[in-house]
A and B are shown apart, each in its own frame.
Chain A
Amino acid sequence: QKEVEQDPGPLSVPEGAIVSLNCTYSNSAFQYFMWYRQYSRKGPELLMYTYSSGNKEDGRFTAQVDKSSKYISLFIRDSQPSDSATYLCAMGPSDMRFGAGTRLTVKP
């Protein structure tokens, strides 16, 4: 079993939809949870950073962490074509573990 599981998709939604991206993990030592966005032919860039459990909101993006279920989510409201990218979850400390990435396409 992988330490971090993420559905690779692809996921295709119409513009304006609410998108839910998820990861599950097995290591209860993870305390830091991140979401990176990777556009085609680019390196990943940090989108959201959460420490421990709870929610964090930044504009149209909301990150949720449920440590009891070992489950993290990224919600995108009012999705735009510019949100089309691969989204990777990542978690630490001591080792950084990345999910495989979910490829999202938002269609106009």
Chain B
Amino acid sequence: DVKVTQSSRYLVKRTGEKVFLECVQDMDHENMFWYRQDPGLGLRLIYFSYDVKMKEKGDIPEGYSVSREKKERFSLILESASTNQTSMYLCASSLIPFTDTQYFGPGTRLTVL
């Protein structure tokens, strides 16, 4: 059974804190993605990675960075959290980018106070 796991289901942080969201997949997928999901806006791509140490900006990369040191792990970093980054964050992985099934993790609900 394929699996994408995320480090936390719920997270509460304060404005200005550095936040790390971790994602691990066990399917040996090359491609991994970070999205945020907001009501009425759907899923918006923040960053994706098609290989270890490779990353590409998505539609809304501002205020975020990523790290992919190992194939199975993709981290999203909020350098200085702000209230407008309160959202649901979803990690996904796929065999082929953008034309193949994406397998999603359960999501991290981040609240920035």
State the Cβ distance, B64 to closest chain A Cβ, in Å. Answer: 17
Interface 9-residue window, one of B11-19, B68-76, B78-86, B96-104: B96-104
The reply to whether A41 and B42 contact each other, CB–CB distance below 8 Å, is no
Q: Does A62 contact B (CB under 8 A)?
A: no
Question: Which residues from A are CB-within-8-Å of B45?
Answer: 95-96
Complex CA distance for A46 and B101, rounded to whole angstroms: 7
**Which of B29-55 touch A at CB < 8 Å?**
33, 35, 39-45
The reply to whether A43 and B42 contact each other, CB–CB distance below 8 Å, is no
The reply to whether B40 and A44 contact each other, CB–CB distance below 8 Å, is no
Residue from A6, A41, A96 in contact with B106 in the complex, judged by beta carbons closer than 8 Å: A41
State the Cβ distance, A7 to closest chain B Cβ, in Å. Answer: 11
State the Cβ distance, B89 to closest chain A Cβ, in Å. Answer: 10
Chain B contacts to A: CB under 8 angstroms = 4, 9, 33, 35, 39-45, 90, 92, 97-99, 101-107
**Smallest CB-CB A-B distances: 10 pairs:** A43-B104, A100-B42, A92-B98, A98-B43, A93-B99, A98-B42, A46-B101, A96-B98, A93-B98, A32-B99
